[in-house]
Structure 1
């Protein structure tokens, strides 16, 4: 990519990030006639290209791909796009909306200017902007626990973002740490290939793929669950820290049932508490974690049942889930070498890193303080985060609403500043 420095330039709005959130923001700004530029440090849809495994596919139906002005164009609205089709969808969107994306331009610092607006340092020179939209998600740095360093040097360790396929892993069993969406799907990928898998099970909930003859996502959308704003959720802002439900769109979509995997030979363990060389020690919480995940699963089934009854909808009957397997007595430790474990995949998520932004818009954990993406700093916004406003915010289905709201705030601030400048000149 061309890294020739560019001369300093001013933009009414700078959007940082060329994924689906940044592109959607670009669409809305152009619709409002606002000049802007999108800086993308890599390429459009980079994370989808480089941080997803070969068999990855959406867990939500294709019909939820509703980028503003560009609904899903394919012939399988109830299918689940694989990784390469997702990349194609996003790249096609960028072309269709003629987004002004500068690829290969990393934003290295953002600072407020004394008289308003922002200075934006990039790998290709200095820029200024009246307003800035951060569309870089919150998944910046792989979160691998410090005690990973205590594992034997010969045991290969990778983060889930660099996993591609089973053949990539050394011979032997694989320990997958984490049972969120990535951990469960990677464990399934390895398991289906015939590899012995040890899965460390955490507190992530799970969701049925199909209930009463229809995809659960379709039911939940009809019930308004993806439109529920964060302020109306029982957990309020704490919901932003909850793990996503695990299920899969693989092979046309299905449940992920860890108990079923256990019956087929996958070894399940409670939370990983400590590491002492090859010795792994686990919490006695496996049964509780499985039970809690199933309680969410059957809770969703029950909510759908009540919706069907209330609306008088004709739908086939379906019994609620009952456990297929229960754990035996707790085994507090496992010797990785004796168990033949040759590698570890840390499916332990990411941490956010907004340290390049010099503005009082972040809490004690370094996360953005915002209401619907509007931070306390005039002209600084965030978008593309889970539960930015609703459950749909972290999905393709909710980004249009979020970016339209922020575009309206951009327009309002421009008008407010214009009036202020006019009054200043008049005085």
Structure 2
């Protein structure tokens, strides 16, 4: 499909990933004319910003896009990158999606006028579905380091890196999985830890995700938490779906030769310097994992569920005298697994808070007709994922329909417009 310069549409969706496609599917079901703008191709983020061995950390059965749940042969498995791309491509072919690929939205003004790389369109309502992974976040101290560097979004495989040892900075999901990828390939890895928690893959006979799903955790709305803002910006627990799924135990990696460090605090051309908090970081990650097990145990007991007993985790390694410096001599590359920033600089509508985060309730902003979809913890844990984006998309489309009928939603309340 092509964009027609000067066209006007009831709804324009910016972003053709899982969030934008889910929204489009609900709009089609409502019979609403719309356009989906995608700067790359369907699944471009998964195709271009994930490494070769990447796989989901949630089981395939949690892939529940509207009218297109996973129906493959391995519901308890974890799709690898190319399978995820194929799943989204198949979804885009499963209904008559009005998709324009290779067209980037460059400016959104109140009104709504949308300038793009292929012309300008206007709309009555706009849904921003551009995802959270837009601008790689790399600390400024990287400028002092004279070693080849790349962001985790640029990493593909161990063979792409220069010879030598590798430093991975960050122990969120990407950092831990990339460190494991390099470790399994026989590279010497220096992993710089942070405050990210971990979670067990399996416990008492089930994937931990399955237990949490049974317990209703993934249906719990952000407004049910006492610390909603803190929850929204938490780092994800690290675990992996690789080879059928397993824990990521950094202590076990240390026994096998991976070098672990505390938080990175300073650097120059010759040396990295770390905080003396390695033990604290490892203990915190383990405590979170064991706390989740406590919650599962309590649920099993309360529901009188027959489930096999399982011994608890015991640390297999302790940092005796953690290094607080690392010479960069012999280091072939540094991988920054330090996350992303949103880039909403193209949006010229006053809906952002002091941090630049879009203010909304369940994706509905205070400016009538502007919505967001696919934000982490937009409403539930699954909002930015395959597991919960369908519910958010349905909610947003219901509000779109209501506004077209003369009902405006502001801060969670609605009023009828005469």
In structure 1, what is the equivalent of residue 236 of structure 2? 244
In structure 2, what is the equivalent of residue 275 of structure 1? 267
In structure 2, what is the equivalent of residue 33 of structure 1? 31
CA distance in 1, matches of 2:327, 2:150: 19
TM-fit CA distance, 1:417? 6.9
In structure 2, what is the equivalent of residue 14 of structure 1? 12
CA distance in 2, matches of 1:236, 1:417: 27
What does residue range 15-414 of structure 1 map to in structure 2 within 5 Å? 15-113=13-111, 118-152=112-146, 155-337=147-329, 340-414=330-404
CA distance in 2, matches of 1:188, 1:121: 43
Kept in 2: contact 1:144–1:346 (CA 8 A): yes
Kept in 2: contact 1:55–1:82 (CA 8 A): yes
TM-fit CA distance, 1:330? 3.2
CA distance in 2, matches of 1:360, 1:422: 22
Secondary structure of residue in 2 paired with 1:63: helix
CA displacement, residues 362-410 of structure 1 (integer Å, 9 cap, x when unaligned): 1112111111001111110001011000111122110111000000100
Larger CA deviation: 370-379 vs 182-191: 370-379
TM-fit CA distance, 1:124? 0.9
CA distance in 2, matches of 1:262, 1:421: 61
TM-fit CA distance, 1:7? 2.6
CA distance in 2, matches of 1:82, 1:74: 13
TM-fit CA distance, 1:232? 1.0
Secondary structure of residue in 2 paired with 1:331: coil
CA distance in 2, matches of 1:106, 1:250: 34
> Unaligned stretches of 5+ in structure 1?
none
CA displacement, residues 102-137 of structure 1 (integer Å, 9 cap, x when unaligned): 001110000012xxxx01111111110000000011
TM-fit CA distance, 1:421? 12
In the alignment of these two chains, the number of paired residues is 412
TM-fit CA distance, 1:336? 1.3
Kept in 1: contact 2:406–2:417 (CA 8 A): no
Secondary structure of residue in 1 paired with 2:405: helix
TM-fit CA distance, 1:422? 10
CA displacement, residues 41-89 of structure 1 (integer Å, 9 cap, x when unaligned): 1100000001000000110000000001000020110010010000000
Larger CA deviation: 176-185 vs 311-320: 311-320
CA distance in 1, matches of 2:73, 2:322: 48
CA distance in 2, matches of 1:285, 1:228: 33
Secondary structure of residue in 2 paired with 1:149: helix
Larger CA deviation: 42-51 vs 358-367: 358-367
TM-fit CA distance, 1:303? 0.8
CA distance in 1, matches of 2:70, 2:41: 22
TM-fit CA distance, 1:357? 0.6
1:33–1:329 Cα change, 3 Å: same
TM-fit CA distance, 1:331? 2.2
